[in-house]
Amino acid sequence: MIIATAGHVDHGKTSLIEALTGVKTDTLVEEKKRGMTIDLGFAYLDALDIEPQEPLGFVDVPGHQDFIKNMLAGVAGVDAVMLVVAADDAVMPQTLEHLAIADFLQISNAVVVLTKVDRVDQARIEEVKASIQTLLAPTRIADAPFFPVCALSGQGVAELKTHLFKLAKDFFKRPPSGNFRLAIDRHFLLSGAGLVVTGTVMSGTLAVGDEVQLLGTGLHSRVRSIHAQNKKVNQAQAGQRCAINLSGADITREHLQRGQWLVKDNTPPPQLRMDALFRMSSNEVNPFRHLTPVHLHLGTGHTMARVAVLQGVSIEPGAQAMVQLVLHEPMGAVAGDRFILRDSSAQRTIGGGRILDVFAPAKGRSKLERLKELDLLVNTNMSTALVGLMAINPKGVKLQAFADNHNLRPNEAEALFAQVAMKKIDTPQGQLAFSLDNWVFWCEEIKNQLLLFHQKKPALIGPFADAVLNDSSYRLPRPILLSVVNECAREGLLIKRGNGVGLPSHMPQLEKTEKILWEKLSPLIEAGQLQPPSLHILARDVVVDVKKVEATLKSALRCGYVIRVSEKHYYLPAYFQQLLKIAYNLSQDSPDQYFTVADFRDRSGIGRNVSIEIMECLNHLKYTRRVGDKHLANPALKDALTNR
């Protein structure tokens, strides 16, 4: 368990830590000179008996208003708080602010320590205790026990120790789930070891030998050794204070500062926008207005930000509302992270809250549909939230974004998704999930639109895949629509012929004279395989006017029997598919994924002029794109091969 002190300056927080642990946490020259804590101090207390129990970790925070920024970095990720109040001084301004911060961070484990009790009589102690109980009543720590203590004489220290260890024993430890994230609060060079970073592990696990990265920098390092709760260990996990010895040349001390994140695996990058649930302090006098500038404290980090109020134009004191944090500098976060807001002059705490979505939209942030999504994301039960999101999003939910936002490892995401009834489809942007009702809706809408198309144009195979919903009142983004159509084809709900799609029951027919001519043309085209005869050679071979041959091939094209590569050349679908495969393989085999027309010519054995025609066709169909004199495969090319 990690315990932070809280309370006004000169109320004895540092002396209390020294009495508990024997460690004097004020180590800076300026702190000793001024007799006042300026920066964070750290100490540990080993278990009192032989029963195996982790040491208690203490974070001593400054109590002066000028150093609230440091205090906020210290309480990030702690499990409990010791609210320290001097019996001879009673409640003071920073007592109130620190208490409010602990409440906004939803710290629910607490003790109240009345220090300097040797200076007052029992009546005064009871008076101060009563005033504090009144303050605690509306907070999460209303039932916190009181401990009268004199740090100098040791009065009450043993009883406080016993209670803290009991609190730690009964404390529900954080599960070691999620990607590893450590909120950095210190960094230093240790003689004989090298670079060390310290902080609280907010989620996940880390083992010696693991590769880590400094979030948002692209800099990586390897873990040489770990100290967790002041002991050398092979693995650290969520809820522990850690010192991590890094090896490698990538990350140096010059790259590090308090507020950064040391992470492992697929943690979301730092963001400039985050949607959140915000609660305003009831001590504020004026409403909180839209786009008010504030100081944002999140993890051990801090930046300036503006707060967009998503409902109305202001928030009343004591009220709770959805907001979007628009940051001056990007910060790392995931859903569930707590934050504190202070006014633009950094004189008072004005509220706090919880991050809901780190992938916040810049446009449409206050639309009703978006507010409904945020209402669902308030739910800490991820299954319930996901079910709700799919229900209100007919165009699907991006599963990877959901997993990243909630800091889920791949196995955790798969386990969650397996619990929820959904239809998953692969798209160029990753897996998309539909509720079963919404999936049925889209399948029925596509079938109805195809039926109408067949009634209007019975001679055609059907519309192009991306035009299936052109006459519908409902729309899907083109990449998603193509993926939905591909999935419908896999399920047998429709059939793809060439570039068109249609219902399996629909059979397009050529006119009688065209059918007779097609029966002569198709064997010649098939015999040519990857090098079918040109339009004029076909006309010569069947002894028919070239215009009649062209008209018949265009009808065959509409029926899905052939695919036109150019005005001169038509391919049977099976051989056109081989052309796609050649282009895809060329891209995969190339170190930079680029290939030239000459590469295509050599791989396919097709002449240069026809190879140029084929690549122009593939570019036009968006299977590839031209970059200078080279070509690059688009995601649609792989999709066409996978879902043929």
Q: What is the CATH number for 311?
A: 2.40.30.10
Supply φ then ψ for residue 226, to 5 degrees: -135, 135
Whether the Cβ atoms of residue 230 and residue 55 lie closer than 8 Å to each other: yes
Position 643 scores a pLDDT of 58
Decide if 479 is inside a domain: no
What is the per-residue pLDDT across 550-584, written as a single tens digit (0 to 9) for each?
Answer: 999 988 887 788 899 998 999 999 999 999 999 99
Decide if 328 is inside a domain: yes
Average pLDDT over every residue of 376-404: 96
Could you tell me the residue range of the domain that residue 195 belongs to?
A: 181-263
Q: Examine the domain organization and report whether 283 and 355 are in the same domain.
A: yes
Cβ contacts of 363 within 8 Å, gap of 6 or more = none
Position 286 scores a pLDDT of 94
What is the per-residue pLDDT across 489-512, written as a single tens digit (0 to 9) for each?
Answer: 999 999 887 678 999 988 777 888
Decide if 6 is inside a domain: yes
Q: Examine the domain organization and report whether 255 and 278 are in the same domain.
A: no
Q: Examine the domain organization and report whether 580 and 629 are in the same domain.
A: yes
Average pLDDT over every residue of 227-232: 89
More confident residue, 28 or 438: 438
Element (H, E) at 165: helix 157-170
Strand 397-398 relative to strand 301-309, pairing: unpaired
Position 506 scores a pLDDT of 86
Q: Examine the domain organization and report whether 26 and 106 are in the same domain.
A: yes
Average pLDDT over every residue of 600-606: 93
Q: What is the CATH number for 581?
A: 1.10.10.10
What is the per-residue pLDDT across 456-467, written as a single tens digit (0 to 9) for each?
Answer: 988 788 899 999
Decide if 534 is inside a domain: no
Its pTM stands at: 0.81
Q: Examine the domain organization and report whether 202 and 58 are in the same domain.
A: no
Average pLDDT over every residue of 205-211: 96
Q: Taking 60 as the threshold, does the pLDDT of residue 280 lie above it?
A: yes
Q: How many domains does the chain have?
A: 5
Q: Examine the domain organization and report whether 378 and 343 are in the same domain.
A: no
C-alpha–C-alpha distance, residues 502 and 506, integer Å: 7
What is the per-residue pLDDT across 430-443, written as a single tens digit (0 to 9) for each?
Answer: 999 999 999 999 99
Q: Which amino acid is at 413?
A: A
189: left (phi over 0), alpha (psi -120 to 50) or beta: beta
Among 170, 196, 216, residue at a domain's last position: 170
Decide if 618 is inside a domain: yes
Give one DSSP letter per residue of 71-130, joined into a string: HHHHHTT-SEEEEEEETTT-S-HHHHHHHHHHHHTT--EEEEEEE-GGGS-HHHHHHHHH
Helix (H, G, I), strand (E, B) or coil at 400: helix
Beta bridge partners of 372: none
Q: Examine the domain organization and report whether 275 and 290 are in the same domain.
A: yes
Decide if 529 is inside a domain: no
Q: What is the CATH number for 27?
A: 3.40.50.300
Q: Examine the domain organization and report whether 12 and 148 are in the same domain.
A: yes
Q: Examine the domain organization and report whether 194 and 166 are in the same domain.
A: no
Among 369, 402, 425, residue at a domain's last position: 369
Cβ contacts of 20 within 8 Å, gap of 6 or more = 43, 45, 58, 157, 160, 161, 164
Weakest-pLDDT range from 119-128, 167-176, 240-249, 571-580: 167-176
The candidate with the shortest Cα–Cα distance to 173, out of 57, 338, 267, is: 57
Q: Examine the domain organization and report whether 247 and 341 are in the same domain.
A: no
Position 498 scores a pLDDT of 67
Among 369, 392, 409, residue at a domain's last position: 369
Q: Examine the domain organization and report whether 151 and 18 are in the same domain.
A: yes
The candidate with the shortest Cα–Cα distance to 4, out of 115, 56, 81, is: 81
Decide if 550 is inside a domain: no
Decide if 582 is inside a domain: yes
Position 644 scores a pLDDT of 53
Q: Examine the domain organization and report whether 211 and 338 are in the same domain.
A: no
